[in-house]
A and B are shown apart, each in its own frame.
Chain A
Amino acid sequence: MSKVPPSRALPPITKRFTALDWLYKNLFSPWYNILLTLLASLILYAILKPTILWILNKARWEVIGANLRLLAVGQYPADQAWRIWLCLYLLVGMIGLTWGVWARMRRLTLAAWLTFFPLIALIVHGSPLAKPLLPLVPSHLWGGLLLTLLLTVVGMVFSFPIGVVLALGRQSKLPVIRLFSVVYIELVRGVPLITMLFMAQLMLPLFLPAGVTIDRVLRTMVGITLFSAAYMAENVRGGLQAVPKGQYEAANALGLGGFQTMMNIILPQALRAVIPVLVGQFIGLFKDTSLVAVVGLLDLLGIANSVLAQPAFIGLQREVYLFICATYWLFSYSMSYASQRLEIALGVGQR
C-alpha cells in the first residue's frame, strides 16, 4: 500500500484584478460589446465636445449674473431681502432640529413644523400690524425660485390633510362619502394640471360671492392644492392598503373606537409607509409648478422668459434655460437622493 504523499498546500490564487481586466470585463467582453462601447463613445463625444466648448468659450454667462436677483426672488424689494434669508436660516435650523430630536420629541417637532409654515408665510408676506418691521409685500412681487418653492410647499402642506381625508373617504363604508371621494379623485386625476390652473384663474373669481376677490398667486395656490390633493389621496390610500387587516381587528379587540383606531393605529403606520412616495410627489409638484408660467405668473420659468424679453438679453435662450434647468435639476435630484436614503433609513418593506 503506497503512502499518499502529504499534499503541499497550494498558495491561494492571487490574480490581481487590474484596470485592464476591468476594461475587458465591462466594456469588451462578448464581441458585440466592443461595438456598443464604440457607439456609446461616439455619442458621448458628439454631445460632450460641442457642449463643453460652448460652455467655456461661447456662452455669455453675464446674463445670469446680471439677473441673478430676479431669478432668485423676482421683484421682491431689495431692502426686504433679509426676510427671505431669515426664512432660509429658519428652515435650515428646523431641519437640523428635526434631525437631532426627532426620535425623542416627535410631538414637539411636529408642533414646531406646524407653527413654522404660518410663520414663514407671515415673514414673506408681512402684515399691516407689524408694519415697521415687516411691511406688506404683495404677492404679485413674488417671483423666481422663491415663488416656485412657495407654490410647492403651500401646495404640498395644504393638500396633505385634504388628501388624507379623501383617502379615508374612499375607503369608507358609507356609500355617499365613498362616491364623493372617488368622483373627486378620478375627476382631478383625469385632467391636466394646466386646466386646473386655468379654472383657478378664470372660474374661481366667478364662484366667489360678490365683492370678495383673491389675487392671482393665491388663486394659483388654490388650484395647485386642489390638484395635488387628489394625487395625495391615491398615495395615502396605497399606504392604508398596506396596513394588515389584523391591525384593525387588534385595535377593535382592545376596545378602541373607529376614530381612535384611525388616529393611533392605522394612520401612523400608513403614513410612515408612504413617506418616500410623498417625497416623490413633492418633487413632481416642484417640477409641475413651472406650469404657472403659462397662466402668467413669474415663477422660475416665467422670470426666465421675462429676462429673455429684455432687449439686452435677446437670443440668450441657451444660457438662461440651461441655468434654470440646472437649478430645477439640482433641487429635484438632491431631494430624490435624500428620499432614497430615507427609504433605506426607514426600512420600508422590511419591518
Chain B
Amino acid sequence: MATRFWRNERFLQVLGQAAFLLLVLYLVYALYNNMVRALQLQGLVTGFSFLQQTAGFDIGERLISYSRSSSYLRAFQVGLLNTILVSALGILFATALGMVVGAARLSTNYLVKSLAKVYIEIVRNIPLLVLLVFWYTDFFLKLPTIKEAWIFPGPIYFTNRGIAIPWGIATASFRTYLWILMLGLLITLGMTWLLILKGRRTGRPPLVTLWSLVTFLGVAVLGWILFPQPPLTVDIPYIDGLNIAAGLTLSPEFMALVSGLVIYTAAFIGEIVRAGVQSVSKGQLEAARSLGLNAFQSLRLVVFPQALRVIVPPLTSQYLNLTKNSSLAIAVGYPELFSVSGTIFNQTGRAVEVITLIMATYLSISLVTSLFMNWYNYKVRLAEG
C-alpha cells in the first residue's frame, strides 16, 4: 500500500516550505505596501536619484576633495573613506596594544600581570560609547590651549584644537620613489617565494618574515639615498600665534575615536592572545626544548603556530566589531560613514534610502574583512591527515 500523499514526508516538507515562503513574501509585500502608502502620505518620492543633488554642508575631515557644492554621493564617499581610515588604524594599533597587554598578562612579574588584568577588567565592563564620550569630553577637549600646549619630543603638540605631529611633504621625485617602492615589493615577493621553496627542499623553515622585511627596507633606504633630492621633506609643526602651522594636525574627534576604539578593543585582544598562548600545552614547549630548539626557535616554530589557530577566529570578530563600532563616531562628531549619512538624512528626509545605503555598505565591509580573515584562518589551520 502506497503512503497517502498527506502522510508522505517529502510532500509535507515541500508543502511546509512553500507555505513558509508564501508567508514571508506576503509579510514583505504587506510591509512594503504600508511603507509606500506612508511615504505617499508624507509626499515623499523614493529612489536614489537624490544622491546627485548638491549636499550643501561642510565636512571638516576628508581624504578626497569635497566642498559644499559636491553631491550627496560624494559626501557619502568621504564618510566611507573616513570609516575605512579609522577602522584600519584602529585595527593596527589595537592589535599592537592587544599583543602587549596579552604578553603582560602572561608575565611572571606580579605587578605587570596585575596591571594588565585590572586594565582588562575595567575596560571590558564599561560600554564603549560611555568610554568614548568620557574620553572625548574629559581628555581631548580639556587639553591646554595652543598657548600652553603640551610639547613632546618630535615635536608633538597636544592642544584642545588637536594633536599636531610632524609629517612628510612630497617633493617632485615622490612619484618616481613610489615606483621604486613597487619594484622593492616585487623583489621581496620573489625572494619570499624562493625562501619558501628552499625551506620546503631542505626542511629547515627560514625566517621568511624577517628576510622579506630586510629586503624591502633595503630597497627603500637605497632608493632614498640614491636620489639627488629626497622624495619627502619633513614638515615640522610650530606654533604661529594662535594657530598651529605646518605638520599634520589630527582633530580631537579623530584622536578620541581612534584611541577610544584602540583602548577598548585592545583589552579584548589581550584576553584572546592570553587564551591562545595558554591553550598550547606546556608539553609542547618542553618537547621543543628537548629537541634542541632554543627559546626563540621553540616559540617561533612550535608555540606560536599553534596559538595562532586559537587566536585568529576570535580576533576576526574583534576586527569586525571595531569596524562596526566606528559608527559610534556620531557621539563625538567625527564625520565617518554613519555620521555623514545622518546629516544626509536630516537634510533630505530619505530614511529608507539612507538606511539601505548604510546597511549595504557595512555589510560589504564586514564581508570583505571576514573573507580575508577566513582565508588567513585557512592558511594557519591545523593541517590534519
* Residues of A in contact with B (beta carbons under 8 Å apart): 26-27, 29, 33, 36-37, 40-41, 43-44, 173-177, 180, 187, 189-195, 198-199, 202-203, 205-210, 283, 287-288, 290-291, 293-294, 301, 305, 317-318, 321-322, 324-325, 328-329, 332-333, 336
A328 near B111: Cβ-Cβ < 8 Å: no
Q: Name the one of A41, A192, A324 contacting B338, with C-beta atoms under 8 angstroms.
A: A192
The answer to whether B125 touches A329 (Cβ under 8 A) is yes
Which B155-192 residues have a C-beta within 8 angstroms of A? Answer: none
Q: CA of A203 to CA of B363 in the docked complex: distance in angstroms?
A: 19
In the assembled complex, the Cα of A203 lies from the Cα of B325 at a distance in Å of 22
B328 touches A194 (CB 8 A): yes
How far is it, in angstroms, between the C-alpha of A290 and the C-alpha of B129 when the chains are bound? Answer: 7
Do A210 and B126 have beta carbons less than 8 Å apart?
no
State the CA gap A317–B37 with chains docked (Å): 45
Q: How close is A264's CB to chain B, nearest CB, in angstroms?
A: 21
Is B38 interfacial (CB-CB < 8 Å)?
yes
Cα A205 to Cα B108 with chains together (Å) = 57
A37 to B133, CA, bound (A): 32
The complex places the Cα of A191 from the Cα of B129 at a distance, in Å, of: 17
Partner of A190, one of B108, B131, B366: B366
Name the residue among A175, A176, A193, A336 with the largest chain B CB count within 10 angstroms.
Answer: A176
In the complex, are the beta carbons of B362 and A180 less than 8 A apart? no
Q: Which residues of A contact B345 (CB under 8 A)?
A: 202
Given known contacts A317-B134, A329-B125, A40 and B362 CB-to-CB distance under 8 angstroms: no
| Contact of A195 with B34 in the complex, beta carbons under 8 Å | no
Interface string of B315-354 (1 = CB under 8 A from A): 0000000001101101100000010001001000001100
B355 touches A203 (CB 8 A): yes
List residues of B (26-56) whose CB comes within 8 Å of A's CBs.
31, 34-35, 37-39, 41
Q: Mark B297-323, 1 if CB is under 8 A from A, else 0.
A: 000000000000000000000000000
Stretch at the interface among B14-22, B63-71, B201-209, B280-288: B14-22
Known interface pairs A207-B34, A329-B122. Does A180 touch B24 (Cβ–Cβ under 8 Å)? yes
B109 interface neighbour in A37, A209, A301, A318, Cβ under 8 Å: A37
12 inter-chain pairs at a CB distance below 8 angstroms, sorted by A residue, are: A27-B111, A33-B108, A40-B111, A180-B20, A180-B24, A192-B327, A192-B338, A202-B355, A287-B125, A294-B129, A301-B127, A333-B125
Contact A207 B35, CB 8 Å, known A175-B17, A199-B355: yes
Complex Cα distance, B328 from A330, in Å, reads 23
Say yes or no: is B359 at the interface (Cβ < 8 Å to chain A).
Answer: yes
CB distance from B115 to the nearest CB of A (A): 5
Instruction: Give A193 to B18 CA distance when docked, in angstroms.
Output: 32
Residue of A nearest to B326 (CB): A192
Q: Report how far A44 CA is from B358 CA in the complex, Å.
A: 42
For A318, the chain B residues whose CB sits under 8 A away are 138
Decide: A40 near B115, CB < 8 A? Known: A195-B358, A336-B125: yes
Docked complex Cα distance between A120 and B125 (Å) = 26
How near does chain A come to B370, taking the closest CB pair, in angstroms? 9
Q: Mark B345-382, 1 if CB is under 8 A from A, else 0.
A: 10000011001001100110011000000000000000
Is B2 part of the contact surface with A, judged by Cβ < 8 Å?
A: no
Contact check, B130 vs A324: say whether CB atoms are below 8 A apart. yes
Interface residue? B58 (CB, 8 A): no
Chain A residues lying within 8 Å of B355, measured Cβ to Cβ, are: 195, 198-199, 202-203
Of all chain A residues, which has the CB nearest B21? Answer: A176
Q: Mark contacts of B129-141 with chain A using CB atoms, 8 A cut-off: 1 yes-contact digit, 0 otherwise.
A: 1110110011000
B contact residues around A210 at 8 Å (CB) = 34, 37-38, 41
Indicate if the CB atoms of B38 and A332 lie closer than 8 Å. no
Q: How far is the CB of A43 from chain B (nearest CB, A)?
A: 7
Q: Which residues of A contact B351 (CB under 8 A)?
A: 202-203, 206
Q: Are B122 and A29 in contact (CB under 8 A)?
A: no
Rounded to whole angstroms, the CA-CA distance of A49 and B174 in the bound complex is: 48
Contacts of A173 in B (CB 8 A): 13
* Complexed CA–CA distance, A207 and B30 (Å): 8
| Besides A176-B17, A195-B327, A202-B351, 17 new A-B residue pairs in contact (Cβ under 8 A), listed by A number | A27-B109, A27-B111, A40-B112, A40-B115, A174-B17, A187-B363, A190-B363, A194-B330, A199-B355, A203-B355, A206-B39, A207-B35, A208-B34, A287-B128, A291-B129, A321-B130, A325-B130
Q: Does A33 lie within 8 Å of B109, measured CB to CB?
A: yes
Q: Across the interface, do A328 and B126 meet the contact criterion of CB distance under 8 Å?
A: yes
With beta carbons under 8 angstroms apart, the residue of B20, B107, B126, B137 that contacts A36 is: B107
The reply to whether A207 and B110 form a contact with Cβ atoms under 8 Å apart is no
Question: Quick check: B17 and A209 within 8 Å, CB to CB?
Answer: no
8 Å CB contact of B38 from A37, A205, A324: A205
Q: Which residue of A lies closest to B363 (CB)?
A: A190
Chain B contacts for A203, CB-based, 8 A: 35, 351-352, 355
Assuming the contacts A174-B17, A187-B363, asked whether A290 and B109 have C-beta atoms less than 8 A apart, the reply is: no
**For residue B41, which residue of chain A has the nearest CB?**
A210
B362 & A191 in contact (Cβ 8 Å cutoff): yes
Contact A206 B352 (CB under 8 A): yes
Q: Mark B86-100, 1 if CB is under 8 A from A, else 0.
A: 000000000000000
Contacts of A336 in B (CB 8 A): 125
